[in-house]
Amino acid sequence: MKNSGELLTLQLYMNELKKIMKDNELVFSNSVSRENFMESYGPFSIHYVSNWIDLSIAIAVVTLLIYVFFIWYRDWLGKNTFSYRLLMLPTARINIYFAKATTILICILGLLALQVLLLPIESTIIKSLVPSEFRADLPIYDINNSSSLVLFLPGTFLDFLLYYGFGTVCVFVVFTAILFERSYRIKGIIWGALYCVVSFVIFLLPLIVDAFLLDYYFYLLDLLLIEAGVALLILASSIWTSNYLLKNKMRG
């Protein structure tokens, strides 16, 4: 979808350009000159297709969110459920939890790598189809900042750690909520939802306390360190709770 949409946008731009070109020489057509064309349409750049990049990323993100649930519930689908054999493996059940979490993280990093690899390919296609005088070439950094890809590839290593660290904690929390549901069924849905809400509130608690009770007492770096500690606490809580549920409550 992404490549076809971008090619469609590029084709529409080129159709307009061809109206005022003949044998590679610019001519006047319907009182349209090169300057008028540039004023009307501007130079073609990857900004023209940034919406398609955003759409492809949104579809991929939604797919990954669905897969976070599917990677557990597929084991319970069908008459001969795979969950019974999975839980009877001669290994610690928490390894199943880690294996599924690792799969999700690999999928996320794979999506990131794919998007990064596609950017120079897309730039090459644009350069091969659009004449240089009608084209604005952008460095990869500017292309990244012009779309939602900046959420997947932050500008600094610290931002990368913050984004993906927070995402990792969210995956573990959701996995724990799923295990609550698998362990207690109807009651587990309530317990799982409460666990997600409580984890989210605990994560925001330092920010709330600093803003409303301490009148912004902490520096930004202090808050980052506190939030990192809270995130690690939530992560450890999720792993411990999931291990307990897998060992004592899960029966397939």
pLDDT tens, position by position, 193-216: 999 999 999 999 999 998 888 888
Per-residue pLDDT tens over the stretch 57-77:
778 788 888 888 888 887 777
Domain that holds residue 248: 155-252
Give the amino acid at 215: D
* β-bridge mates for residue 167, sequence order: none
Average pLDDT over residues 162-181: 91
Residue 230 contacts by C-beta under 8 Å, 6 or more apart in sequence? Answer: 202, 203, 205, 206
Q: What is the pLDDT of residue 91?
A: 77
**Are 125 and 185 members of one domain?**
no
**Are 186 and 143 members of one domain?**
no
Q: What is the DSSP string of 11-59?
A: HHHHHHHHTTEETTEE--BTTB-HHHHHHHH--B-GGGGHHHHHHHHHH
Give the model's confidence band at 156: pLDDT under 50 very low, under 70 low, under 90 confident, else very high: confident
Q: Greater confidence, 2 or 155?
A: 155
Q: What is the pLDDT of residue 76?
A: 74
The upper half-sphere exposure of residue 44, i.e. CA atoms within 13 Å in the direction of its Cβ, equals 26
**Are 129 and 22 members of one domain?**
yes
* β-bridge mates for residue 29, sequence order: 32
Number of compact structural domains in the chain:
2
Tokens of 165: 């660290």
Q: Which of 130, 153, 176 is the last residue of a domain?
A: 153
CA torsion 40-45-49-53 (nearest 10°) is: -150
Cα separation, 88 vs 203, in Å, equals 35
In the block, tokens 């724990």 appear at: 176
Average pLDDT, the chain: 77
Question: At residue 99, does pLDDT exceed 80?
Answer: yes
Give the model's confidence band at 45: pLDDT under 50 very low, under 70 low, under 90 confident, else very high: low
**Are 120 and 191 members of one domain?**
no
Question: At residue 89, does pLDDT exceed 70?
Answer: yes
> With helix as H, strand as E and coil as C, how does 156-209 read?
CHHHHHHHHHHHHHHHHHHHHHHHHHHHHCHHHHHHHHHHHHHHHHHHHHHHHH
Q: Which of 153, 185, 210 is the last residue of a domain?
A: 153
**Are 147 and 232 members of one domain?**
no
**Are 74 and 45 members of one domain?**
yes
Q: What is the pLDDT of residue 23?
A: 39
Q: Say whether 135 sits in a helix, a strand or coil.
A: strand
**Are 98 and 205 members of one domain?**
no
Question: At residue 47, does pLDDT exceed 90?
Answer: no
Q: Which of 98, 132, 153 is the last residue of a domain?
A: 153
Q: Greater confidence, 102 or 13?
A: 102
Q: What is the pLDDT of residue 174?
A: 94
201, 197, 203: which is closest to 232 by C-alpha?
A: 203
Per-residue pLDDT tens over the stretch 3-43:
555 555 656 655 655 555 543 444 444 445 566 666 666 67
Range scoring the smallest mean pLDDT among 6-15, 69-78, 95-104, 175-184: 6-15
**Are 129 and 216 members of one domain?**
no
**Are 145 and 173 members of one domain?**
no
**Are 84 and 189 members of one domain?**
no
Q: What is the pLDDT of residue 205?
A: 93
**Are 145 and 163 members of one domain?**
no
Q: Greater confidence, 228 or 160?
A: 228
**Are 145 and 191 members of one domain?**
no
